[in-house]
Amino acid sequence: MDKLLITGGNRLNGEVTVSGAKNAALPILCAALLAETPLHLSSIAALKDIDTTIKLLDTMGVKISRNGDKVTLDASEVASFEATYEMVKTMRASILVLGPLLARFGTARVSLPGGCAIGSRPVDLHIKGLQAMGAAIHITHGYIQASTLHLPNRRLQGARYYMDLVTVTGTENLMMAAALAEGTTVLENAAKEPEVIDLAEMLIKMGANITGAGTDVITIVGVEKLNGTTHNVVCDRIEAGTYMVAAAMAGGEVKLLNVQAHLLDAVIEKLREAGATVTHDADTITVKSDGKLKAVNIRTAPHPAFPTDMQAQFMALNAMAEGVSKVTETIFENRFMHVQELQRMGADISIDGNTALVKGVSELDGATVMATDLRASASLVLAGLVARGDTVIERIYHLDRGYENLEAKLNALGANVKRVA
């Protein structure tokens, strides 16, 4: 199994181009199931999770061609309405086919995701939302079996639905389903993440009638059919944020290209508080740092607050910053898997419930550590970049799920990262 070998201590300088967002691309690829004519996408990053989604859609009969970052999907002849356990267990976001399948074909069979490294992550709100739209849903043998065949015109019926918790993929699933429902759906307490907005913008180009995406009330007036369109996926703000933290920690000057600074307000604010200089224009962000940082308190919450997907990276930053900080995780109950590994590199971190107390140390020490989930892995890479000596990161398939060309991008900035067998 591949490992990353990082020799720490190099400053980072130069430019890095940010890829299209994984978390926007996944729902957008699934939205192809709603369209009767081909959908043409660009800025689709070369990532494991993207490959998994494409494979899943392929098993359903969607015709797919991929050329670099461009993907065309033709769902005019879908033959299977199922996402098997084998698929869903490798990627929870496979649940995003549920809404589109049910809305367009009136039937869907999707495996329940089960547990994952960062918590139990149920999909009850996806299911309740579809039930509010009239779907008949049975859970049998670990599968969600959903049907609209008993409904007028066999179509989901518009409904008002309040989500108890802000859920990103839940909002996306229900928005896609409602796009083809009969009547008006109002989603309350909806997620406001930029990836939700990107999906809504594409659905509107496909012929959907959606207003309010980016606020906590989204209104969808269902239409009878949707067509393909062309769409360029929004930049990956989490990939961007990870390189920004890398530059701040390692020191140097890094300019990110193809990025929208306003999607990263909370992250930029925290980096400035830590002592880095962050400037930006229309589609670039520059981070300048001498590598001497001050510890910053972090509290994760739904967008536009500080993203949970950047928590682990800031834990690494705080581990080598001056002072004591508190990192509070409010979204996922078990998202401190990186702490034990950072401790093996000399970090001084103690956990009390959903809060980690981080006492900055003057130097981290290279060690062999294990990646446990996507963003935890990113925090280990960041720690490795500044640690004394060599760091070996095992199980890097997690990183390949969400970071395109990670080692090439870091090495182009001056890092010393090698993939070894």
Candidates 38-46, 60-68, 116-124, 131-139 — which segment interacts with ligand UD1 by CB under 6 A? Answer: 116-124
Helix (H) or strand (E) holding 148: none
Closer residue to ligand UD1, CB minimum distance, 26 or 406: 26
Q: Does 332 bind ligand UD1 (CB under 6 A)?
A: yes
Q: For residues 286 and 254, what is the distance between their CA atoms, to the nearest angstrom?
A: 6
Burial of 9 (0-12, 13-18, 19+ CB in 10 A): middle
Binding mask 342-381 for ligand UD1 (x = CB under 6 A): ----------------------------------------
Task: Give the H or E element holding residue 409.
Answer: helix 406-412
Q: Looking only at residues 66 through 85 of this chain, which bind ligand UD1 when binding is defined by CB under 6 A?
A: none
| Among the residue ranges 74-82, 121-129, 139-147, 338-346, the one whose residues contact ligand UD1 (CB under 6 A) | 121-129
Choosing from 168, 203, 312, 399, the residue that interacts with ligand UD1 (CB under 6 A) is: 168
| Residue 376 CB, nearest approach to ligand UD1 (Å) | 12
The least CB distance from residue 300 to ligand UD1, in Å, is 8
Q: Which amino acid is at 226?
A: L
Q: Are 420 and 27 in contact (CB under 8 A)?
A: no
Closest CA relative to residue 177, chosen from 217, 122, 133, 212: 133
Closest to ligand UD1 by CB, 113 vs 207, is 113
Question: Could you give phi then psi for residue 386, rounded to 5 degrees?
Answer: -110, -5
Residue 124 near ligand UD1 by CB under 6 A: yes
**Segment contacting ligand UD1 by CB under 6 A, of 119-127, 151-159, 290-298, 403-411:** 119-127
Binding-site member from 29, 35, 125, 371 for ligand UD1 (CB under 6 A): 125
In three-state secondary structure terms, 42 is: strand
Alpha-helical regions (H) of 251-355: 265-274, 311-319, 337-344
Q: Does 48 sit near ligand UD1 (CB under 6 A)?
A: no
The torsion angles phi and psi of 112, rounded to 5 degrees, stand at -70, 140
Residue 56 CB, nearest approach to ligand UD1 (Å): 13
Residue 126 binding ligand UD1, by CB under 6 A:
yes
Site string for ligand UD1, 181-200 (x = CB under 6 A): --------------x-----
Stretch that binds ligand UD1, among 37-45, 70-78, 118-126, 276-284 (CB under 6 A): 118-126
Cα 54 off chain centre by:
16
The interface region with ligand UD1, picked from 152-160, 161-169, 350-358, 379-387 by CB under 6 A, is 161-169
Residue number with CB closer to ligand UD1 (174 or 349)? 174
Give the DSSP H/E element, type plus range, for residue 174. helix 168-179
Contact string 295-324 vs ligand UD1 (x = CB under 6 A): -------------xx---------------
Does the protein bind ligand UD1 through residue 234 (CB under 6 A)? Answer: no
Helix, strand, coil distribution of the chain in percent, nearest 5: 35, 30, 35
According to DSSP H, which parts of 251-333 are helical?
265-274, 311-319
- Toward ligand UD1, which CB reaches closer, 101 or 331? 331
Q: Is 116 a catalytic residue?
A: yes
Alpha helices, H only, 31-145: 48-59, 85-90, 98-105, 124-132
Q: Is 291 in the site for ligand UD1 (CB under 6 A)?
A: no
Judged by CB under 6 A, does residue 21 bind ligand UD1?
no
Q: Which residues contact 407 (CB under 8 A, 6 or more apart)?
A: 4, 417, 418, 419
Measured from the CB atom, the residue of 168 and 256 that comes closer to ligand UD1 is: 168
Strands 39-42 and 230-232: parallel
Dist CA 30 CA 57 (whole Å): 7
Active-site position among 5, 116, 186, 223: 116
CB of 209 to ligand UD1, least distance (A): 24
Is position 165 an interface residue for ligand UD1 (rule: CB under 6 A)? yes
Taking CA atoms, 153 is separated from 79, 108, 182, in Å, by 21, 17, 9
Residues annotated catalytic, as ranges: 116
Binding site for ligand UD1 (CB under 6 A): 23, 26, 92-93, 119, 121-126, 165, 167-170, 195, 308-309, 331-332
